[in-house]
Amino acid sequence: MRLLVLAGDGIGPEITAATLHVLRAADARFGLKLEIFEEAVGHESLTRFGTTVRPELLAAAREADGVILGPAATYDFKDEAKGEINPSAFFRKQLDLFANIRPARTYEGVTFKSVAPFDLVVARENTEGFYADRNMEQGNAELLVTPDVVVSLRRITRPACARIARAAFELAMRRKRHVSIVHKANVLKIGDGMFIEECRRVAAEFPDVTVDDFIVDAMMAHVVRAPQKFDVIVTTNMYGDILTDLTAELSGSIGLGGALNAGEKHAMAQAAHGSAPDIAGKDLANPFSLILSAALLLDWLGRRKNAKPYSDAAAAIGKAIESAVRDLEMTRDIGGRLGTKAAGEALAARLMKT
């Protein structure tokens, strides 16, 4: 299996190095035969090549079995004409990575504030919605009409609604068989109404799955109050982006939130958080989000390629993180005592013994 690895900006190189340390341990233990290729993206690429994402990286990503993308300084990249391309949006759009899968769960060893133990997954549509940089074939969906008037367009399509719904229901069949649809159909009657229609149509094919739905603002309150009541949550792009940061933080830290961007043919592991330039180079960053994301990629490869060692390796990484957190063998942001590099090394050593 060939993995294209793009470390990104800020803390990206540090957490990517820790992730690769763990992946190499998994490779040694489970005989994965990984081939890892590292390339520059983001500010390093902009300095070296005049663009944050070189055109040849798309071909490399398509030829690879999977991609691992570290956090990029997306807020810095404003003018594509100057080579300032958002790497995350670029690969999500060009590889048609329509499903952003974001698990969130509590861990023994992390202190929570009035939150019962929970284990849920958000399946977020990833290619349209209110995201102005990816919902048009050409141009941008945010328009400056006059100096004082901005119009932002949202795109919702039946095919996109249907395929994220199917991804959510297939995921629920591997879990607790419960899907919650999150929307704002009381106000956005046509667009979110279509989303609910498509989710309900797909639900008819999964009679063993319990289905309910919630207005997005009410859902925020429900998740804070009782996250343990949910299993798989399916929603559109912007609602999912906001909701997944909340669920990750409820688990103890966004640094514990893994994320997979998946399509029919390609998948990309990506940490749930940003590049955190304020702590870059200080050996403080929590690498677990990117490591958990890489584990999700291994599991996707295992199911797609019918390669059980990959699924076994993914499960073992999850178990190793559970035990590491329980023993406080983690970074200081979640109550541990280790730096980024040491946390990766300790997890790799634990993985070999799990």
Q: For residue 245, indicate whether it is catalytic.
A: yes
Residue of 245, 283, 312, 333 marked catalytic: 245
Whole-number Cα distances in Å, 170 to 163, 201, 203 = 10, 14, 10
Residue of 65, 213, 241, 299 marked catalytic: 241
CB–CB of 136/96 below 8 Å? no
Q: For residue 282, indicate whether it is catalytic.
A: no
List, in sequence order, every residue forming a beta bridge with 171; answer none if it has no partner. none
CB–CB of 119/105 below 8 Å? yes
Q: For residue 241, indicate whether it is catalytic.
A: yes
- Name the residue with tokens 């990575």: 97
Read off the amino acid at residue 139. Answer: G
φ and ψ at residue 254, rounded to 5 degrees: -65, -15
**Core vs surface per residue 203-213: b (16+ CB within 10 A) or e:** beebeebebeb
Residue of 9, 27, 131, 299 marked catalytic: 131
Residue of 9, 65, 93, 184 marked catalytic: 184
Tokens found for residue 130: 């209110």
Cα pseudo-dihedral 256, 195, 128, 4, rounded to 10: 40
Please write down the long-range contacts of 77-84, taking CB distance under 8 Å and 24 or more positions apart.
77/52, 83/46, 83/49, 83/50, 83/51, 83/52, 84/46, 84/52
Spatial distance between the Cα atoms of 65 and 257, rounded to a whole number of angstroms: 23
Q: For residue 278, indicate whether it is catalytic.
A: no
Residue of 75, 189, 212, 217 marked catalytic: 217
The alpha helices in 131-189, defined as continuous H runs, are 158-173
Q: For residue 212, indicate whether it is catalytic.
A: no
Question: How many other C-beta atoms can be found within 10 angstroms of the C-beta atom of residue 319?
Answer: 13
Active centre residues (catalytic) = 131, 184, 217, 241, 245
